[in-house]
Amino acid sequence: MKPISAEDVQGEIDNIKGILQQEKLLTVKCFGNFEVYAKNEVLTFKRLKTKELFAFLVDRNGAGMTAKQICAVLFQDDTDDTKNLVYLRQLVMDLKKTLKSVGVEAVLCHESPCYRVDTSLIKCDYISYLEPGKPDFYGEYMTQYSWAEQTCAMLQ
């Protein structure tokens, strides 16, 4: 409404920023050990491999990965593709249930044949680091996963 003041404009901008911050459904910590928080509480995964699957998809920064590509990384030492694909389907179902239990199932996207994480719905230190105005990085990245060493080297 006219006349408009600078305070009114700033108030609207702050309101929009607040709405955008609320859209972040999960907080993901990649620097150091990988951890996921929903509503400021640690998200518990039924299986460690389910958590690793989610970590790998976050590491891909929203890029889609096929089931075979995921299996090649998560099951590096196992060459039984059929068994690995069946197990991956179980992990995906477990991940969907875990995310749904806290009302954030929209974070996991399955656009056949690829799986990906909708990075616009998560607050993540790694993804923020890739943008201008980087947060601090002290050389540790998802330390519990050997496949993350490649990304850690790239970040350094």
The Cα 131–Cα 139 span in angstroms is: 17
CA 82 – CA 45 distance, rounded (Å): 24
Q: How confident is the model at residue 95 (pLDDT cuts 50, 70, 90)?
A: very high
Note the pTM of the prediction, 2 decimals.
0.82
CATH class of this structure's domain 24-155: mainly alpha
Each residue of 2-33: pLDDT tens digit? 677 777 777 666 655 544 444 578 999 999 99
Dihedral (CA of 82, 87, 90, 92) sign: negative
Q: Which helix (DSSP H) or strand (DSSP E) does residue 74 occupy? A: helix 67-74
105 DSSP assignment? G
For residues 82 and 86, give the distance between their C-alpha atoms in angstroms, rounded to a whole number. Answer: 6
In the predicted model, is pLDDT for residue 97 greater than 70? yes
